[in-house]
Chains A and B, each alone.
Chain A
Amino acid sequence: MPPLVSVGDAPTLVERGRDAAGIALIALLLGIPMIGLSTVDQSGALRVLTRWPLLGVFVAVAFCGRLLLRYALDRLKSRLRTRGRQAAAASARHGRVLTAVGWLAFALALVLPLVFADNRYVVDIATTVLIYVMLGWGLNVVVGLAGLLDLGHAAFYAVGAYAYALLATQFGWSFWAALPVAGLIAAVFGLALGWPCLRLRGDYLAIVTLGFGEIIRVVLVNWTELSGGPNGISSIPRPSFFGLPFAPSGNAPTFASSFGLEFSPMHRLIFLYYVILALSLLTNALVARLRRLPVGRAWEAMREDEIACRALGMNVTNVKLSAFALGAMLGGVAGVFFAARQGFISPESFTFNESAIILAIVVLGGMGSQLGVVLASLVLVLIPELGRDFSEYRMLLFGAAMILIMIWRPGGILAHREPTLRHAAAGGGHA
Chain B
Amino acid sequence: MPEASAAGGVMPLLSVENLTMRFGGLAAIDDLSFDVPAGRISAVIGPNGAGKTTFFNCLTGFYKSTAGSVRLNHPELGVLRLESLPSHQVARLARIVRTFQNIRLFPKMTVLENLIVAQHNVLQQASRFSLAGLFGLPSYRRAEARAVDKAVDWLRRLDLIDKADVPAGALPYGTQRRVEIARALCADPLLLCLDEPAAGLNPRESGELNELLLRLVKEERLTLLLIEHDMSVVMNVSDHICVLNYGRKIAEGTPDEIRNDPHVIKAYLGEEEEEEEEEDAAGAVQAKAIGART
Chain A residues near B (Cβ < 8 Å): 84, 87-88, 91, 286, 289-290, 293-295, 297-298, 300-301, 304-305, 307-316, 417, 419-424, 426-427, 430
Q: How far is the CB of A145 from chain B (nearest CB, A)?
A: 11
Contact B187 A312 (CB under 8 A): yes
Contact A419 B170 (CB under 8 A): no
Chain B residues near A (Cβ < 8 Å): 60, 62, 87-92, 97-98, 100, 104-110, 112-114, 116-118, 120-121, 123-124, 127, 130, 133-134, 148, 152, 155, 161, 164-167, 170, 183-184, 187
Contact residues in A for B127 (Cβ distance below 8 Å): 293-295
- Which single residue of chain B is at the shortest CB-CB distance from A286? B134
Q: How far is the CB of B172 from chain A (nearest CB, A)?
A: 9
Contact A419 B110 (CB under 8 A): yes
| Residue from B60, B133, B165, B170 having most chain A Cβ neighbours under 10 A | B165
Contact A297 B165 (CB under 8 A): no
Contact B106 A313 (CB under 8 A): no
A23 to B44, CA, bound (A): 59
15 A–B pairs (Cβ distance < 8 Å), ordered by A: A87-B170, A88-B167, A88-B170, A293-B127, A293-B130, A300-B109, A300-B113, A305-B104, A307-B100, A313-B121, A316-B88, A419-B110, A422-B165, A423-B152, A430-B152
Given pairs A300-B108, A305-B106, 10 additional interface contacts (CB within 8 A): A84-B170, A290-B130, A290-B134, A297-B120, A301-B114, A301-B120, A305-B105, A310-B91, A312-B183, A313-B88
- Which single residue of chain B is at the shortest CB-CB distance from A298? B120
Contact residues in A for B118 (Cβ distance below 8 Å): 312
A231 to B26, CA, bound (A): 60
A310 to B166, CA, bound (A): 23
Q: How far is the CB of B268 from chain A (nearest CB, A)?
A: 29
CB contact between A313 and one of B133, B155, B166, B187 (< 8 Å): that residue: B187
CB contact between B112 and one of A91, A311, A419 (< 8 Å): that residue: A419
Q: How far is the CB of A144 from chain B (nearest CB, A)?
A: 11
The main secondary structure of chain A at its interface with chain B is helix
Q: How far is the CB of B21 from chain A (nearest CB, A)?
A: 18
Q: How far is the CB of B19 from chain A (nearest CB, A)?
A: 19
A421 to B151, CA, bound (A): 12
CB contact between B87 and one of A298, A301, A311 (< 8 Å): that residue: A311
Contact B117 A293 (CB under 8 A): no
Contact A312 B165 (CB under 8 A): no
- Which single residue of chain A is at the shortest CB-CB distance from B107? A304
Closest 4 CB pairs of A and B: A313-B91, A423-B164, A313-B92, A304-B106
Contact B109 A315 (CB under 8 A): no
A419 to B100, CA, bound (A): 24
Contact B167 A297 (CB under 8 A): no
Contact residues in A for B121 (Cβ distance below 8 Å): 313-314
| Residue from A301, A307, A316 having most chain B Cβ neighbours under 10 A | A301
